[in-house]
């Protein structure tokens, strides 16, 4: 799926990829983004979808980096998880982007 950004998103920094089995300290559930929660992974404060964690460990390789994009930018969506898109931008950068900030476009 191809989408166009309609609301600028600044993200929260660049993170490493955490491997399956990495311990996750789960915090509060996000009120605005259901299915996501605050957490600490390997000393990094970030967010994770609940479905990526079982028994306080990651069950998938996970990189919480968000794409920083402006209005009009085009993204190629690879996965949708609880109102967030895992997408790639025109420069080939991969990261998370809120679904509420995009519209789908015809190719």
CATH of 2-12+65-104, one of 1.10.10.10, 3.10.150.10, 3.30.300.30, 2.30.30.40: 2.30.30.40
* pLDDT, position 17: 98
Walk along the chain (107 residues) and give the pLDDT tens digit of each residue.
Answer: 999 999 999 998 999 999 999 999 999 999 999 999 999 999 999 999 999 999 999 999 999 999 999 999 999 999 999 999 999 999 999 999 999 999 999 76
Domain boundaries, the chain: 2-12+65-104, 24-58
* pLDDT, position 107: 66
78: left (phi over 0), alpha (psi -120 to 50) or beta: alpha
* pLDDT, position 106: 78
């Amino acid at each position: 799926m191809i989408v166009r950004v309609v609301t600028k998103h600044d993200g929260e920094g660049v993170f490493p990829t955490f491997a399956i089995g990495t311990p996750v300290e789960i915090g509060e559930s996000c009120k605005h983004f259901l299915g996501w929660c605050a957490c600490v992974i390997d000393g990094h404060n970030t967010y994770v979808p609940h479905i990526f964690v079982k028994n306080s460990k990651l069950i998938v390789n996970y990189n919480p980096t968000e794409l920083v994009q402006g209005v009009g930018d085009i993204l190629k969506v690879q996965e949708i998880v609880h109102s967030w898109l895992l997408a790639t931008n025109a420069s080939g950068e991969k990261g998370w982007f809120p679904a509420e900030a995009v519209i789908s476009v015809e190719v």
